[in-house]
Structure 1
Amino acid sequence: MFKRIAFLCVLLSGSCLLHAQKKKKPVAAQQSTTTVQTDRTVWVNNLYKIVYPVIHNMAEGTLKQNLPLELGPQYYLPVKKVTYLEAVGRTMAGVAPWLALPDDETTEGKMRMQLRNELLKGLRNAVDPSHPDYLNFRTEGQPIVDAAFVAHAFLRAPKALWEPLDSLTKRRFIEEFKSLRNRKAAYSNWLLFAALTEGFLLSIGEQYDPARIDFAVRKMKEWYVGDGWYSDGEKFSMDYYNSFVIHPMLVDLLKILVEKKMAQQQEYDLSVQRMVRHAEFLERIISPEGTFPVFGRSITYRTAVFQVLAQVALMEKLPAHVAQAQVRGALTAVIDKMFTGNQNFDANGWLVLGFNGHQPAIADQYTSTGSLYLCTLGFLPLGLPASHPFWTDAAAEWTGKKAWKGEPVKKDYKVEY
């Protein structure tokens, strides 16, 4: 890119790339993650590096021009009709809590402000039918999925991303969301996508489809199999979709319903308990080296595997025996290992198909470059300010690290709720 401008920088040194006139590789964050001061730096630098190409090109009106169209084996979707909305929705859903923090004059604060301003500009382009970067909500099934991630971002950061939009842009988004109703969601986690978009419309006082919401909530109750796990449809699959989609969207949908007095508080509380239990599993699967098991569908979503753990931390709902600092340490190790190097980025800073490097054979037949930006969902705790104990508590080792050192760890048992 010829406008890699400002703020792709290392916070500790304060050095920035201002008004760069030619392509440059992203500046790597400092490798050490052994002090409290550097953990947030690692997160901020890497999230910025991931989302900058999407958000900056949205603002410039060059997203469709510059986003690579790399496809998984036997890819079967019309890529130009779906991948751009995938990139936008998934980027937004993960970056939203961070962008919702108040402005300040720190280097991080300036990075946030730049991204927020560019994203708001890009969102106007995204629903302007006359703009080259107008996104497709109107045809194909896939937009049901990625419209939900856009809606999730608006729910996570209403004052930063929804309220500042002009009235015409808001009306256009509402119309695009409603246009999804002429297609049905697959009988799986997709039910939550259709429901969450309707839940957002409900939350802003717009006409909504209660049947889509009710059907999704009822099916998720039926598909709960116990111990913090839902089945994705009638048959259980051992993969990470409980974290990619099911727990976060169900909990946030029920929150809206409780606020609108359309669901009971205990129903929401139970769903949160189940999500917290699932977060315990995710914390335990992180190895002492910051790696985690590579199995199941959509493993190219990388750090989205940890959305549930990240959201539970953001909600300040971690169980008493799981310290905030140990979650910070574990996720920092994962993020540092996966993104501080450039193995997961191409020469222009876009994510490449793969898990930890360019590994196109591991991509699914529905995966394209835009799909990969779901990885931002692992960064949700950046919505906690730098002064929060999650960031300031003294470093603590996580379960996997303590267990493999022979130190005491809490025994794990199933739960009955």
Structure 2
Amino acid sequence: MPGEFDDLRLSPFTGWTRAHWAALADRLLLAVRPHASASHARITLPGAPGGYGTDVDGLEGFARTFLAAGFRVAGEHGRDPLNLMEWYAEGLAAGTDPASPERWVRLDEHDQAKVEAASIALVLHLTRPWLWDRLGPRVRERVVEYLAPAIGATYPPINWIWFQIVVEQFLASVGGPFERADIEAGLALTDGFARENGWYADGADRAYDHYVGWALHFYPLIWTEMAAGDPDADARRPGYLRRLERYLHDAVHLVGADGSPLIQGRSLTYRFAAAAQFWLGARSGVATPAPGLLRRAASGIARHFADHGAPDEDGLLTLGWHRAWRPIAQSYSGPGSPYWAAKGFLGLSLPADHPVWTATEEPLPVESRDFHLAVAAPGWLVSGTRGDGMVRVINHGTDHSRPGSRLTDSPLYARLGYSTATSPILAGEHATRPVDQSVVILAADGEPSHRTGFETLVIGRLPSGALVGASRWQAHWVTPDGHAPDHGYGRGGRVRLGPWLHTVSIVRGAWEVRLIQVGDAGDGPGSLRVGGWPLPGTGEVREATATATVSHDTGHSLVAGGAGLELCGLVSAEDASPLASRVLVPWCATTGPARAGTWYHAAVYLGGREPGEPPAVHRNGPATVVGWPDGSTDELEPRFMTRTTGRSGEVR
């Protein structure tokens, strides 16, 4: 809702200006002070300790809030009315002192310290005239000694490599020890993360999520600033910029009109860290998107959370999405973890006269028109509808795994659909037993199969403008091994294999037509079930038309089964979503074992308006014809219904 101090001339969509962002940052920074240790080296926020213990929690609280403080002071050219630099300088002195009771866990004592060290090094770089240059010689020595174990250390081959690069680059800049070979090897490894159209994968897996923007684009360009003048950094920067600019074209399509980012992927508790990618575009000087659109996206995200209880009434960020909801976190998350939201304050590092702050806000793509976007790298079919402001993603390319793996499905990655208006079921039995946005085979005991390890067959656009995607996988059931930590992705274990499933999605507006073929199986397939979007509200089941619907004030979710999918119903999940205490999932299914070789179809809907009649689907010889509610028609050629279809950004 508009606030008393909103500027609807400069910011007609959010009302937010730089003053709003500064006030939010100051509120967060002041609110954590009562939870700091005597010399401020540790900030241990309320709540149960994280999976790595209170020593790590206290370091996270310092390093992540330090990011916000650094952006705040850098953008003011050192003006510091809250005395942030002196306050954090005391913490630096104590945290790096091995004899202090507040000393930080070291990089060679716990891997998480490698993450937090990068934030410390980055802020020391950004605020060098007002902090590093004013530290005493012995404190500087201790900071260097604290960071030095990064040299030659082992880092996981994912976004973590950038933490080593950033730390060693800072050490190099202050005359400390560093290893050029570490930086060169890290850069070479991260080159391998690059994918089509400016996207990055987080390592070798099909791992696409918010880390693409807030880590894998963020650190390369920040590193080129830190290493400015180095021939390698200067040579790499134009390529990093080109990738970012192309990626941001897709990223602005993934923000809902209400400011919600896509609710997909791990570490969602970082909330408005998702805004960092848009500020990075402004800071780096990309030609497009325009500054007014970049600010509109970033401010929309921050305002979305501020309007929904984050930070809370005490000014604190809790583990949750809107308000506190612990199940959204991974097992390693602690009470200081949410403060990586501070990355979203990167815009404050830009002065008040920067174009991103002075330009008039421009509308998001979903506020301008209905759109259909095929995003090849993550395998997403993106549909935005102006009437309800929702953005939906149909997923045929992301599972945080690789083709042929046999893992459980992570609800954060392997569901068939994600949106800005719904959350996957993240807690309770249905988090590990897929029902929402799924196509599963039900075993004799009712256990649903998993799809992780699927093959992506096609991602593209039909001549009409509708989107088409397809994937194929062998249904499998997994009994997970032991009690592996929850890092947000699927788990391995003892596997039982079932039939192959070939699924094709045709997307137009708020509708998806989902076509499914079940392959042969040695012991015969079980029943086939198709799950839709999870929503709070009231549900209705109409057996005569094999339709299940969930409706509430602002949204409707529907699944309508075609021939053979004549059983329908609703699954209720309690305390399973950060958006509501109870959600319902509509589904349709076969009444008995699925027939091998038969193509089934279901219409799946998510929208702000009541859905009306679903699309009509029929066969025209070997082709499949879809008649949409708006009167348009798509004919799907036989090649889309075979395994041999190849991936493409455009289907002709």
Q: TM-score range by the shorter chain?
A: 0.7 to 0.9
In structure 2, give the amino acid aligned to 1:46.
L
Two-structure CA RMSD over aligned residues (Å): 2.9
**Aligned match of 1:142:** 112
**Aligned match of 2:180:** 210
Give the SS at the match of 1:353: coil
Among 280, 293, 298, the residue aligned to 1:326: 293
Q: Does 1:99 align with 2:73?
A: yes
**Aligned match of 1:248:** 218
Give the SS at the match of 2:205: coil
Give the SS at the match of 1:153: helix
**Aligned match of 1:10:** none
Q: Does 1:44 align with 2:14?
A: no
In structure 2, how many angstroms separate the alpha carbons of the residues matched to 1:133 and 1:323? 45
Q: How many percent of aligned residue pairs carry the same amino acid?
A: 22
Report which of the two has the higher share of strand.
Answer: 2
The structure-2 alpha-carbon separation of the partners of 1:152 and 1:65, relative to structure 1 and needing over 3 Å to count, comes to closer
In structure 2, how many angstroms separate the alpha carbons of the residues matched to 1:384 and 1:258? 18
The structure-2 alpha-carbon separation of the partners of 1:327 and 1:253, relative to structure 1 and needing over 3 Å to count, comes to closer
Q: Does 1:335 align with 2:313?
A: no
The structure-2 alpha-carbon separation of the partners of 1:256 and 1:118, relative to structure 1 and needing over 3 Å to count, comes to closer
In structure 1, how many angstroms separate the alpha carbons of the residues matched to 2:233 and 2:135? 32
Among 377, 381, 388, the residue aligned to 2:343: 377
Among 45, 57, 68, the residue aligned to 2:46: 68
Residue 227 of structure 1 and its aligned partner are, at CA, apart by: 1.1
In structure 2, give the amino acid aligned to 1:40.
R
In structure 1, how many angstroms separate the alpha carbons of the residues matched to 2:169 and 2:25? 28
Note the residue ranges of structure 1 that are not aligned, 5 or more in a row.
1-27
The structure-2 alpha-carbon separation of the partners of 1:345 and 1:381, relative to structure 1 and needing over 3 Å to count, comes to closer
Q: State whether residues 85 and 146 of structure 1, in contact with CA within 8 Å, keep that contact through their aligned partners in structure 2.
A: yes
When structure 1 is superposed on structure 2, of 128-137 and 163-172 the one drifting more is: 128-137
Q: State whether residues 275 and 301 of structure 2, in contact with CA within 8 Å, keep that contact through their aligned partners in structure 1.
A: no
Give the SS at the match of 2:272: helix
Note the residue ranges of structure 2 that are not aligned, 5 or more in a row.
370-384, 388-464, 466-647
**Aligned match of 2:243:** 274
**Aligned match of 1:131:** 100
Q: State whether residues 55 and 115 of structure 1, in contact with CA within 8 Å, keep that contact through their aligned partners in structure 2.
A: no
Once the two structures are superposed, residues 355-409 of structure 1 have per-residue CA deviations (whole angstroms, 9 ceiling, x without a partner) of: 1111111111111111111101111111222233322223332323222558xxx
**Aligned match of 1:260:** 230
**Aligned match of 1:117:** 86
Among 171, 182, 190, the residue aligned to 2:141: 171
When structure 1 is superposed on structure 2, of 276-285 and 33-42 the one drifting more is: 33-42
In structure 2, give the amino acid aligned to 1:49.
R
Residue 140 of structure 1 and its aligned partner are, at CA, apart by: 1.0
In structure 1, how many angstroms separate the alpha carbons of the residues matched to 2:246 and 2:344? 17
**Aligned match of 1:359:** 325
The structure-2 alpha-carbon separation of the partners of 1:337 and 1:324, relative to structure 1 and needing over 3 Å to count, comes to same
In structure 2, how many angstroms separate the alpha carbons of the residues matched to 1:35 and 1:161? 37
The structure-2 alpha-carbon separation of the partners of 1:97 and 1:344, relative to structure 1 and needing over 3 Å to count, comes to closer
The structure-2 alpha-carbon separation of the partners of 1:184 and 1:55, relative to structure 1 and needing over 3 Å to count, comes to farther
Give the SS at the match of 1:270: helix
In structure 2, give the amino acid aligned to 1:329.
R
**Aligned match of 1:9:** none
What is the total number of aligned residue pairs between the two structures?
Answer: 369
In structure 2, how many angstroms separate the alpha carbons of the residues matched to 1:65 and 1:303? 20
In structure 2, how many angstroms separate the alpha carbons of the residues matched to 1:186 and 1:310? 27
Q: Does 1:314 align with 2:288?
A: no
TM-score (norm 1): 0.79
Q: State whether residues 73 and 349 of structure 2, in contact with CA within 8 Å, keep that contact through their aligned partners in structure 1.
A: yes
In structure 1, how many angstroms separate the alpha carbons of the residues matched to 2:42 and 2:350? 33
When structure 1 is superposed on structure 2, of 286-295 and 389-398 the one drifting more is: 389-398
Q: State whether residues 272 and 302 of structure 2, in contact with CA within 8 Å, keep that contact through their aligned partners in structure 1.
A: yes
**Aligned match of 2:316:** 350
Residue 128 of structure 1 and its aligned partner are, at CA, apart by: 2.6
When structure 1 is superposed on structure 2, of 379-388 and 120-129 the one drifting more is: 120-129
In structure 2, how many angstroms separate the alpha carbons of the residues matched to 1:66 and 1:127? 17
Using CA pairs below 8 Å that are at least 6 residues apart, which structure has the higher relative contact order? 1
Residue 98 of structure 1 and its aligned partner are, at CA, apart by: 2.3
Among 254, 272, 296, the residue aligned to 1:285: 254
Residue 297 of structure 1 and its aligned partner are, at CA, apart by: 1.1
Residue 174 of structure 1 and its aligned partner are, at CA, apart by: 0.3
The structure-2 alpha-carbon separation of the partners of 1:392 and 1:76, relative to structure 1 and needing over 3 Å to count, comes to closer
Q: State whether residues 70 and 127 of structure 2, in contact with CA within 8 Å, keep that contact through their aligned partners in structure 1.
A: yes
Once the two structures are superposed, residues 174-229 of structure 1 have per-residue CA deviations (whole angstroms, 9 ceiling, x without a partner) of: 00001344752112111111121111111222220223212210011122122111
Once the two structures are superposed, residues 263-320 of structure 1 have per-residue CA deviations (whole angstroms, 9 ceiling, x without a partner) of: 16332210122122223332222221111211001111111123222112123x1324
In structure 1, give the amino acid aligned to 2:71.
P
In structure 2, how many angstroms separate the alpha carbons of the residues matched to 1:63 and 1:57? 11
In structure 2, give the amino acid aligned to 1:384.
L
Give the SS at the match of 2:320: coil
**Aligned match of 2:532:** none
Structure label with greater radius of gyration = 2
When structure 1 is superposed on structure 2, of 388-397 and 286-295 the one drifting more is: 388-397
The structure-2 alpha-carbon separation of the partners of 1:280 and 1:121, relative to structure 1 and needing over 3 Å to count, comes to farther
In structure 2, give the amino acid aligned to 1:324.
P
Q: Does 1:199 align with 2:166?
A: no
Residue 102 of structure 1 and its aligned partner are, at CA, apart by: 4.1
The structure-2 alpha-carbon separation of the partners of 1:95 and 1:258, relative to structure 1 and needing over 3 Å to count, comes to same
Q: State whether residues 276 and 318 of structure 1, in contact with CA within 8 Å, keep that contact through their aligned partners in structure 2.
A: yes
Q: State whether residues 151 and 178 of structure 2, in contact with CA within 8 Å, keep that contact through their aligned partners in structure 1.
A: no
Once the two structures are superposed, residues 32-57 of structure 1 have per-residue CA deviations (whole angstroms, 9 ceiling, x without a partner) of: 45243852222111111222234575
In structure 2, how many angstroms separate the alpha carbons of the residues matched to 1:48 and 1:152? 20
Residue 59 of structure 1 and its aligned partner are, at CA, apart by: 7.9
In structure 2, give the amino acid aligned to 1:327.
L
Q: Does 1:300 align with 2:272?
A: no
TM-score (norm 2): 0.52
In structure 1, give the amino acid aligned to 2:63.
G
Residue 160 of structure 1 and its aligned partner are, at CA, apart by: 2.8
Report which of the two has the higher share of helix.
Answer: 1
**Aligned match of 1:233:** 203
